[in-house]
Amino acid sequence: RELTVDLGSRSYPIYIGEGILNDIAALFQKHGIGKGSPLLVVTDEHVAAHFLDRVTGLLSAAGYSVASHVVPAGEPSKSLAMLEQIVATALEAGLDRKSTIIALGGGVVGDLAGFAAASYMRGVRFVQIPTTILAHDSSVGGKVAVNHPLAKNIIGAFHQPEMVLYDTATLLTLPDREVRAGLSEMIKHGLIWDADFTAWCEENADRLVGLDPEALQYGLYKGCSVKAAVVSQDERENDLRAILNLGHTIGHALEAVGGYNELLHGEAIAIGMVGAAKLSVRMGNPEHIYTVTKRIFQKFGLPVSIPPHLDTDEIMRAMMHDKKFNEGQIVYIVPTEIGKVEINKNVSAQWVRDIVDQLKRED
Ligand code: NAD
Ligand code: ZN
């Protein structure tokens, strides 16, 4: 399957298919990527063990000069220190302004390698090869960043890739918990945009969790399509793009208070989306928005309640830090129906606090 992220002269293709990593050299040739200048593959140690030799092997067999840089797996690698090391490897390998950096991995590698590509020599080209389900979200849209000890994703850029190459066969080695957490963002893309796709996700929960190739390809295709549609209408998050943050207000706070090791991102936003649905009902929208949302996440074995030991005051403080309340009010993405959301600019902080308390007692 193929789709295009429509951004005028910076439009790019997303290829999704089983085994398409084997076509990497042909796809690079087709899009004129990497001619004449060295390539750099950035990946993490888990992904390297499975796929790095294959990628560098295929590219060098096709005549490309290719170097690689492997970072430790995990969120701490999204740091300025790691960026500096990547730049060192890039310089040693002779990367120049016509070079291309290839992100082979999940969202951590995508954000890190993408920011390296955005900043090395004021910007070189880059290609995303996502290897997690979550990365169907992070590899599309051009947001790239590293973290600072005081704040996540705070040093970053908008830098669109030349191409996204999504081989669903690479997902077979993903740990089950990462699979479910990644599917949480897929469900989000349904909830914000497309009721039929949401229903399809629910019906196909077992196939998706079981990594059925056909279900995965369709689900990732639809998820990427929603992301692409939103991003093409609002590349730099002036307004519409904010809807992609459904569930993220509570979700980010839960990740932070859990010390970024208790809940995976996808798990935290599943709870956040149940919270947003509760808020919606409290604002007068129909009850089924909440019951359906909760039922879907339960079908995927994702959490729908806040671990009770996470302190409500701390969660609220983290939220204020993340989102800036104005006089007790907060901008919040609220579902108005399954498949539809609104950007509500005056949600009361007290209501959000009530929801957080209720989410601790959810069963
Ligand atoms: P990740 O990149 O850390 O991957 C999760 C784990 O799976 C890691 O241990 C990784 O080594 C391992 N892994 C990856 N692919 C594998 C494979 N095929 N087989 C076996 N193991 C594999 O995490 P993630 O969930 O993909 O991404 C999370 C990151 O994405 C966060 O830093 C978040 O901020 C970022 N993100 C960015 C955007 C964006 O728009 N740029 C959007 C959402 C999330
Ligand atoms: Zn997210």
- What ipTM goes with this model? 0.99
CA of 287 to the centre of ligand 1 (A): 34
Domain-terminating residue out of 173, 191, 210: 173
Give how far the C-alpha of residue 140 lies from the chain's centroid of Cα atoms, to the nearest Å.
8
- Cα dihedral sign, 108-109-110-112: positive
Q: Are residues 327 and 283 in the same domain?
A: yes
Q: Are residues 21 and 100 in the same domain?
A: yes
Q: Are residues 340 and 210 in the same domain?
A: yes
Condensed to tens digits (0 to 9), the pLDDT of residues 160-208 reads: 999 999 999 999 999 999 999 999 999 999 999 999 999 999 999 999 9
Q: Are residues 146 and 16 in the same domain?
A: yes
| 171 assigned binding-site residue | yes
Q: Are residues 150 and 296 in the same domain?
A: no
| pLDDT score for 214 | 95
Domain-terminating residue out of 139, 173, 207: 173
Chain mean pLDDT for the chain: 95
163: CATH:
3.40.50.1970
Condensed to tens digits (0 to 9), the pLDDT of residues 204-262 reads: 999 999 999 999 999 999 999 999 999 999 888 888 899 999 999 999 999 999 888 89
Q: Are residues 292 and 272 in the same domain?
A: yes
Condensed to tens digits (0 to 9), the pLDDT of residues 315-352 reads: 999 988 776 666 677 889 999 999 999 999 888 889 99
| pLDDT score for 363 | 81
Q: Is the pTM of this model over 0.90?
A: yes
Ligand 1, atom 29, residue with closest C-alpha: 107
SS3 content of the chain, % helix, strand, coil (to 5): 55, 20, 25
Q: Are residues 331 and 278 in the same domain?
A: yes
CA of 281 to the centre of ligand 1 (A): 32
CA atoms within 13 A on the CB side of 140: 36
Nearest atom in ligand 1 to the alpha carbon of residue 143 is 41
| 172 assigned binding-site residue | yes
Across 120-126, average pLDDT? 97
Domain-terminating residue out of 130, 154, 173: 173
CA of 133 to the centre of ligand 1 (A): 8
Q: Are residues 207 and 194 in the same domain?
A: yes
| Region at 327 (left for phi over 0; alpha for psi -120 to 50; beta for the rest) | left
| pLDDT score for 327 | 66
Q: Are residues 146 and 187 in the same domain?
A: no
| 132 assigned binding-site residue | yes
**How far apart, in whole angstroms, are the C-alpha atoms of residue 104 and residue 85?**
17
| 73 ligand 1 Cβ < 6 A | yes
Residue range of the domain that includes 137 = 2-173
| 75 ligand 1 Cβ < 6 A | yes
